[in-house]
Amino acid sequence: MKKLLALLLCTILLMTGLVHASAETTTITWWTWSTEATTAYQKIVSDFEAQNPDIKVDLQFIANADYWTKMPVAIVSGTGPDIFQMTRPSFELYAASNQAYDLTDVIAGSEKLQANLAEMDPTLVESYKFNGAQMAIPYTVECSTIAYNKELLREAGIQDLKEIEDTWTWDDLREIANELTKKDANGNTIQYGFLIEAGRMPQWELIWSRGVEMFNEAKDECKIADPEIIDVTQILVDMYQEGVSPTVQDTATMSADDMFMSGKLAMVTAGSWKVPTYAGITAFEWDVAELPRDAKSGERKSSSNVLGFVINPRSKKIDATVKFLEFASSHEGQAILADTHTYIPANTSVRDSFFDSNIPENLHAYLRALDYVHPNTLTQFIPYSQFTQEFSDAYRAAYAGDMSLEQALTEHQNNINAIMEENKANFE
């Protein structure tokens, strides 16, 4: 009888509002491939959950090799994450394929998101718009410098690069790279001057420093065979054929990082994400210098793979996911990235702690490079992986001397445009 009376009393109190039922917990899922950011991301999650006990975040790391194949299938099938990490070159494809939630109205109704965006570099915010709509929120920015072995330069009698970084050009780098390349008595290269790869860096840096783009304004035609692009990147082909760089085959057997860290490679284009890796060098002194300027334009640009947060348009937990987005992109959430030296935040007001180290000595070269970043904007009409494969194949062919740079870029430009033409039907 007593148990029955207690149950009746509890029911009456609940109905009258004097006792409240416990709030239901909502779990949202966050997908990323960035295992190097595990510590920072886990802190973002724990701090958010502490402030929002009714929301749990299931942080899932997906191997980068699988991420871009699993994501579209998961979104379409309704099994995808509520929020996921985006890389800037892939953004247009997701935005144009209705695989990104339009945040325009969400932002208009969220004072927190408005405040967060106001503290970010406008270039980064603008880069995540598609047809005028804000489809993602940036949260990191990258930039690049030239990392160099100070001792090898000193031994060769070459001026420290940070002393000439404001005025040097790619022609100067070429001359220095040749001076730093050494062969043994048998003609085998025992020390390389500068790493020249076939991918994004430093090709995109040179192209954008010249003031040209790889696609037309409408992003529906590839222009990598533009005469200016041929002219500005020919120096890389020439340097490669002069032997100042490890070959593509060399770096397939020994990574460029290992070559630099072992003293076999004197200079390398180094993204900001390389600093933690190179910080472990103890065998020699190293430092960084700002990128060379283009001799024709006098400008320099640093390619930037701006990472962004995208909400799944098929998420059934939009409100809870927006709350997490508000926190992760906030001053507090962004500061975690800088304090842990994980990433340079998109928020310009919390970057100082990322640069509070003296390793390398000229670390602030990265800070200065943020003034001339160029987000890695491509097109919706070809997947990033296909574009970079064609782009890299063109430079490999030119490096090997199988064809001229003009012939190689023209051939692969035609390949890219053919792929784009086929894909355009998917967006009509």
Return the SS3 of 138: strand
- Determine the Cα–Cα distance for residues 118 and 32; give it in Å rounded to an integer: 25
CB neighbours of 162 closer than 8 A, spacing ≥ 6?
A: 287, 288, 289, 361, 362, 365
**Spatial contact of 77 and 53, defined as CB atoms under 8 Å apart:** no
Instruction: Assign 3-state DSSP to the chain and report helix, strand, coil percentages, each to 5.
Output: 50, 15, 35
> What confidence score (pLDDT) does residue 15 get?
47
- C-alpha neighbours within 13 Å on the C-beta side of residue 418: 7
Domains and their CATH numbers in the chain: 15-141+305-365 (3.40.190.10), 144-304+381-427 (3.40.190.10)
Tokens representing 95 are 């935005």
> What confidence score (pLDDT) does residue 17 get?
46
Handedness of CA 357, 363, 368, 373 (dihedral sign): negative
- Determine the Cα–Cα distance for residues 217 and 108; give it in Å rounded to an integer: 28
Residue in 267, 297, 278, 312 with CA at minimum distance from that of residue 79: 312
Return the SS3 of 54: coil
Cα-based distances in Å from 9 to 1, 3, 15, 17, 159: 12, 10, 10, 12, 85
Residue in 313, 314, 330 with CA at minimum distance from that of residue 52: 330
Q: Please write the tens of the pLDDT for every residue from 160-173.
A: 999 999 999 999 99
Residue in 168, 198, 208, 106 with CA at minimum distance from that of residue 395: 198
Residue in 66, 71, 241, 266 with CA at minimum distance from that of residue 154: 266
> What confidence score (pLDDT) does residue 23 get?
60
> What confidence score (pLDDT) does residue 5 get?
45
User: Which H helix or E strand runs over 4?
Assistant: helix 2-16
- The label of the residue with tokens 């970057």 reads 351
The total of other beta-carbon atoms located within 10 Å of residue 281's CB is 17
The total of other beta-carbon atoms located within 10 Å of residue 285's CB is 15
> What confidence score (pLDDT) does residue 428 get?
73
Chain CA centroid to CA 93, Å: 16
DSSP for 239-290?
HHHHT-S--HHHHHHS-HHHHHHTTSEEEEEEEGGGHHHHTT--SS-EEEEP
Going residue by residue through the chain (428 aa), what tens digit of pLDDT does each one get?
444 444 444 444 344 444 443 468 999 999 999 999 999 999 999 999 999 999 999 999 999 989 999 999 999 999 999 999 999 999 999 999 999 999 999 999 999 999 999 999 999 999 999 999 999 999 999 999 999 999 999 999 999 999 999 999 999 999 999 999 999 999 999 999 999 999 899 999 999 999 999 999 999 999 999 999 999 999 999 999 999 999 999 998 999 999 999 999 999 999 999 998 999 999 999 999 999 999 999 999 999 999 999 999 999 999 999 999 999 999 999 999 999 989 999 999 999 999 998 999 999 999 999 999 999 999 999 999 999 999 999 999 999 999 999 999 999 999 999 999 999 988 87
> What confidence score (pLDDT) does residue 369 get?
97
- pTM of full prediction above 0.85: yes
**Spatial contact of 360 and 288, defined as CB atoms under 8 Å apart:** yes
Residue in 313, 315, 316, 320 with CA at minimum distance from that of residue 26: 320
> What confidence score (pLDDT) does residue 20 get?
44
